[in-house]
Amino acid sequence: MRLLVLGLLAVAAPSQMADSSASISGVIRVALTSERAIQFSVVAQSEHMNLHNTAYGTTPGIYGLKQLTPGAYRLVVTGFFEGGFQSVTQRSITLSKGQELTLDISVPLPGEITGRVIDEDGRPMHGVLVHAMDKRYSCGAIHYWPIATSKSDELGLFRLQGIPAGRSFVVRADGSTAGGMSPTDTFFSNTVSPDAAQDIVLAAGETRSDVEIRRTKQPLYCVDGVAESGTGFDSMWWEVARSGSQRDQLVNQSTLSASGEPLQKFVICGLHNGNYQVGVSTADLKSHPPQFRSSEGVVVIRGENVHGLRLRPQAPVTVSGEAIWDGQTPTNSSDAKLFVHFEGTLRMGGGVLSEAAVPARFSGPVNLLPEEYIIDRVEVRGGGAYVKDWTWNNQHPPGNRVSLGGESGGGHLRVLVGSDGATISAKVTDIDSRPVSKAFIAMIPASATNEAEMSVAMVSGEADQYGYYSVDAVPPGRYRALAIERVDGATNQVGWGRPKDLGANFVSRLWAAQASGNVVDIAGNAKVDIKLKVQHF
């Protein structure tokens, strides 16, 4: 397999002391092959200094980053393959003053999934969109994100390329909105529920070729009602999205003619049984963003049409919130910043609610449309602080899902911030006491009762080239600490210290292995050194 050629581009972080800066260089190769990666990017991300340094290869496989401020970095290496797909791997490193580190990195070869789509009578189905859906834990719940898409040919055959190794996927064939009995979204192997679908985990470079999907037919239904415009309008843009765990949820959209009346009637058809969000707006999305939403929230279709839905104009969403210290305010409180992010479920978008110094109080309109959101990140960065607890309208919302707009209006976010976080330093070695780089370190709270809770609450990261891992602002309590041999793809994560979007299969295996971890009791403001032996599973 070949990669494409890319010219040189290197952006180095500014440095006031060039003679004390560090550098890193090496060769990028494709795992399982002898050829070097030709088109790639290497990004060095620094947590505390907020630096992002990027380099691309100038000659086949060679990279270099210079004038790096000494400290801890995460290297994110992306290989760009023919056909437009990518492969990503990560490495943690620590650079000292004046160090010139040489580090060769292997990019895992992506896999692919092939198969065919047939109807209930076994006949091939042409032109069906098929998706590989990444099954991951996010916000304490399993979500499904589309990673690769293909369309079946006249023989019903499809080919999904660029599938990351080591992660769990489900495969979905899209349904149809044709009248009468119509194929609904169907997963391999032959179920309409993603949670009941068969998991597929590929090794690097593997091809899975026995994926056959027999699409299930179900009746279609309609939703009708009125949109209350107040002044009326001449055309409408309507959209329908699934309300659930699949993150490509927009299932139907179109432009409808309108009468210009204050109460505009509408009829939306082509919907199978399920839970939906329905929205209507003026057709010019650029100048008039969607603003009409059902005050009833989620629309449930169960074997019959839905009548009398009323969509009302939504005022700008007003959200109030506060971030307060638990106990006395620490001397370095000005270094702690609150960061909250909302991820929309109707659209693949979201927004930042606050990025303010703790203690923080805020209230007013935010740049969010009225709909359902997932609060996918509540963090306090800097100052050795951590989020001890947070609530939305005095509750812990299941799956971090909240509704903005409608009769529920906005909401109130309350964040309790702890200042007694501990600093943990871990050293990972093998059975012969040699340091192990790339090991995945997890500290699992004893309070976690299942893998979903663990995925949110555990502290995790990766050992650097010397086998060391360090993290601060760890909440006090009892943990099980363990080091696992790194699995490319499955252990990729965003952020420092807290996991985000780990592969569901890896989370399950980690939960099963936690009993073998070291029990560690961590006191407030403590500095704890841990020695771990790497485990293989």
Is 166 a residue whose pLDDT tops 70? yes
Question: Looking at residue 225, what is its pLDDT?
Answer: 83
Domains 111-218 and 318-418 share a fold: yes
Is 4 a residue whose pLDDT tops 60? no
**pLDDT tens per residue across span 33-57:** 766 666 888 988 886 555 667 777 6
pLDDT (mean) for 452-465: 90
pLDDT (mean) for 320-347: 79
In the chain, domain spans = 10-107, 111-218, 220-313, 318-418, 422-535
**pLDDT tens per residue across span 285-307:** 444 444 445 444 578 889 999 99
Question: Looking at residue 488, what is its pLDDT?
Answer: 62
Is 408 a residue whose pLDDT tops 60? no
Question: Looking at residue 316, what is its pLDDT?
Answer: 59
Give me the chain's average pLDDT, please.
80
Question: Looking at residue 499, what is its pLDDT?
Answer: 54
Distance CA 521, CA 479 (A): 6
Question: Looking at residue 297, what is its pLDDT?
Answer: 57
Which percentage of the chain shows pLDDT scores above 90? 34
Using a 10 angstrom Cβ sphere, with 0-12 exposed, 13-18 middle and 19 or more buried, the burial of residue 524 is: middle
Q: Which of 416, 362, 352, 356 is nearest to 381 (CA)?
A: 356
For residues 502 and 429, the model is more confident at 429
Is 367 a residue whose pLDDT tops 80? no
Is 407 a residue whose pLDDT tops 60? no
For residues 528 and 81, the model is more confident at 528
CATH (residue range 10-107): 2.60.40.1120
For residues 423 and 402, the model is more confident at 423
Distance CA 363, CA 50 (A): 28
Distance CA 133, CA 247 (A): 9
**Would you list the DSSP string of 327-387?**
SSPPTTGGG-EEEEEEEESSSS-EEEEE--BSSEEEEEE-S--SSEEEEEEEEEESTT-EE
Question: Looking at residue 337, what is its pLDDT?
Answer: 85
For residues 522 and 231, the model is more confident at 522
Phi and psi for 399 in degrees, rounded to 5?
A: 65, 15
DSSP state of 455: H
- Where in 433-526 does DSSP place strands (E)? 440-445, 459-462, 468-474, 477-484, 502-503, 518-522
Cis status of the peptide bond prior to 245, with omega within 30 of 0: no
pLDDT (mean) for 490-498: 50
- Where in 152-262 does DSSP place strands (E)? 157-163, 168-173, 181-183, 186-187, 200-201, 207-214, 217-219, 221-228, 235-242, 250-257
**What is the three-class DSSP state of 217?**
strand
Is 266 a residue whose pLDDT tops 80? no
pLDDT (mean) for 160-167: 89
- The structure tokens 């340094």 sit at 53
Distance CA 100, CA 82 (A): 33
Distance CA 163, CA 87 (A): 8
Is 15 a residue whose pLDDT tops 50? no
Band (pLDDT 50/70/90 cuts) for residue 428 is very high
pLDDT (mean) for 137-156: 89
- What is the residue type of 74? R
Question: Looking at residue 154, what is its pLDDT?
Answer: 96
Is 60 a residue whose pLDDT tops 70? no
Q: Which of 361, 347, 387 is nearest to 495 (CA)?
A: 387
CATH (residue range 422-535): 2.60.40.1120
Question: Looking at residue 25, what is its pLDDT?
Answer: 93
Question: Looking at residue 117, what is its pLDDT?
Answer: 96
- Containing 452, the helix (H) or strand (E) segment is helix 451-457
Is 246 a residue whose pLDDT tops 80? no
pLDDT (mean) for 157-184: 85
Is 255 a residue whose pLDDT tops 60? no
Distance CA 229, CA 282 (A): 9
Phi and psi for 488 in degrees, rounded to 5?
A: -55, 140
Distance CA 41, CA 53 (A): 10
Find out whether 161 and 110 touch, Cβ atoms under 8 Å. Answer: yes
Long-range pairs, 303-309, Cβ under 8 A, ≥24: 303/219, 303/221, 303/273, 304/221, 305/221, 305/222, 305/223, 305/224, 306/221, 306/222, 306/223, 306/224, 307/224, 307/225, 308/224, 308/225, 309/223, 309/224, 309/225, 309/226, 309/278
pLDDT (mean) for 141-159: 92
**pLDDT tens per residue across span 463-485:** 999 999 999 889 999 999 999 98
pLDDT (mean) for 491-507: 65
Band (pLDDT 50/70/90 cuts) for residue 281 is low
**pLDDT tens per residue across span 102-145:** 999 888 888 999 999 999 999 999 999 999 999 988 877 888 88
Is 496 a residue whose pLDDT tops 70? no
**pLDDT tens per residue across span 172-204:** 998 876 656 788 889 998 998 899 999 999 988
- Please identify, in words, the CATH class of the domain defined by 318-418: mainly beta
For residues 534 and 20, the model is more confident at 534
Band (pLDDT 50/70/90 cuts) for residue 5 is very low
- Please identify, in words, the CATH class of the domain defined by 111-218: mainly beta
Is 460 a residue whose pLDDT tops 60? yes
Is 83 a residue whose pLDDT tops 60? yes
CA distances from 130 to 66, 110, 122, 160, 187 (A): 43, 18, 17, 8, 9
Question: Looking at residue 370, what is its pLDDT?
Answer: 66
- Please identify, in words, the CATH class of the domain defined by 220-313: mainly beta
